[in-house]
Structure 1
């Protein structure tokens, strides 16, 4: 007698016995073990009763009309910014109260916002794409990009996407105390990735972050590609209230910053007071000669006695 026939015979005996004398726990356990040895029998547990059923092919769910099976959906990840830590580091936060730094960035952002949503010429780049750069490292460009993004996020009518585009030396997430994540470079390399797969929403409802992503030696070529042009167009135009801040590499160290500038509607260059030489500033400005709407932020000035570091904003 085959295993299947033995199992079927055992089921018949159990059904007959069930109407007379309940099986003991030991007997039920033995029956369960025997039936489990058969590859043609599957088990379904209903409350405390073990029911054994022959295995059949499971038919696909019937389609309703032309309805297609649901595809998996990607959800944007959420991260928590430590706003108390940011305040301790001297950054702009909505709960930080009225500070000189907050007032400085209120002055800085206003003309940028006016141009971001002003009338654009047919050949002009979107004004809501703003690149923050510097001549050399250490002048405060990342600090400025984050504070500018936080200040604009406080607006009632605008949202902000902060992009870490310093792909050779990303520092936005590190400055904010967040771990490295996939981001911009991964989207440009892998056409199966979408913005929603890598964009980070934050506990500041109007602020999202796009990390730099995985480092690659082809960063300049990727930033100059049609894929990047399409991505920039998408993030500039998807939401009419969005401002996009790009933290760019320094102009005098990499070629990525000049390529990135070609996509931008506005450029902000941070100059460290009493440190950056006039020659470095002129050389950096020559790298973006021909681009419109170039502005300077003079950083770390101490012009007034008793006043801590302030920011002074000038048009280039």
Structure 2
């Protein structure tokens, strides 16, 4: 019996409620050199001024979330197991290589199932790896919550890059006090978010993100699948998908319908969230959907 069949049976037994002309000025070589240096320094200064933030790691720890130096907590142990196969799949070489395997979308069937919590914890867990860096992208553009959960102010991000071709990823990506963790906010809300996520600009951005740093894992906190269309569009461009299912709340029908919408992706994984039904009374179960 597959993991989804097992999960579905359990959901059925524990049903819950779901809810101008060009002017040329000739300059001397020294003037030209000075100008180039000035412009370069100005650009770098602007970028540095907007890209460094401090995450309150102590507060995150109090909320039960993973932080790099907290030791062997239950959440840290669980997500250590969850991330391992995802990392392995991300960097397969040769005939078995997964296109955009390092792009991992975290979603759910419905809101409030814990997908943002799991996306942040997964990113934090991977950030503790010796050989990898992490980019956490808030792709839930209608209801972004990554920055809020981390106690950070809203900022320009994904939507702004798609709307402004002059805006570079490096100008928007946020550095954090976790050296191996970067964040790309959702950015400015837009009524044509679905079309933007399905655009050539988005495809080009994903190629850049996937290939710029060969050691980087990219985690997308996606919208939920059933009430939105953005998640389905995003899923079609991901290498791997993690779907969070809230134990004893999400119905079997909702799980099946959500999986049906993304079943063209052969690398779908489930996190059975908020469960005490697994060995040792743990909070997370993990498995593959085939």
Quick check: TM above 0.5? yes
Provide the secondary structure at the position in 1 that maps to 2:147.
helix
Cα distance in 2 between the residues matched to 1:79 and 1:125: 32
When normalised by structure 2's length, the TM-score is 0.84
Question: Of residues 78, 85, 89 in structure 1, which corresponds to 2:63?
Answer: 89
Distance 1:110-1:123 versus aligned 2 partners, 3 A rule: closer
Provide the secondary structure at the position in 1 that maps to 2:112.
coil
Deviation per residue, 1:16-73 (Å, 9 max, x gap): xxxxxxxxxxxxxxxxxxxxxxxxxxxxxxxxxxxxxxxxxxx986314985832342
Q: CA deviation at 1:260?
A: 0.4
Question: Of residues 178, 182, 185 in structure 2, which corresponds to 1:211?
Answer: 185
Aligned pairs for 1:249-260 (under 5 A) are: 249-260=223-234
Provide the secondary structure at the position in 1 that maps to 2:218.
strand
Q: CA deviation at 1:119?
A: 2.1
Question: Of residues 53, 62, 65 in structure 1, which corresponds to 2:28?
Answer: 62
Question: Of residues 32, 43, 68 in structure 2, which corresponds to 1:73?
Answer: 43
1:229 partnered with 2:203? yes
Distance 1:98-1:200 versus aligned 2 partners, 3 A rule: same
Distance 1:306-1:119 versus aligned 2 partners, 3 A rule: closer
Cα distance in 2 between the residues matched to 1:114 and 1:206: 18
Which is bigger in relative contact order (C-alpha 8 A, separation at least 6)?
2
Unpaired stretches in structure 2, ≥5 consecutive residues = 1-24
Which residue does the alignment assign to 2:138?
164
- Whether the 8 Å CA contact 2:108–2:225 is kept in 1: the answer is yes
- Whether the 8 Å CA contact 1:125–1:263 is kept in 2: the answer is no
- Runs of 4+ more than 6 Å apart: none
Distance 1:122-1:231 versus aligned 2 partners, 3 A rule: farther
Aligned pairs for 1:90-105 (under 5 A) are: 90-105=64-79
Provide the secondary structure at the position in 2 that maps to 1:168.
coil
Which residue does the alignment assign to 1:313?
286
- Whether the 8 Å CA contact 1:120–1:126 is kept in 2: the answer is no
- Whether the 8 Å CA contact 2:91–2:97 is kept in 1: the answer is no
Q: CA deviation at 1:263?
A: 1.2
Distance 1:204-1:191 versus aligned 2 partners, 3 A rule: same
Cα distance in 1 between the residues matched to 2:276 and 2:109: 20
Distance 1:276-1:120 versus aligned 2 partners, 3 A rule: farther
Which residue does the alignment assign to 1:149?
123
Which residue does the alignment assign to 1:136?
110
Larger radius of gyration: 1
Cα distance in 2 between the residues matched to 1:239 and 1:282: 35
Which residue does the alignment assign to 2:6?
none
Cα distance in 2 between the residues matched to 1:199 and 1:304: 38
When normalised by structure 1's length, the TM-score is 0.77
Aligned-pair RMSD on alpha carbons?
Answer: 2.1
Alignment: residue pair count: 257
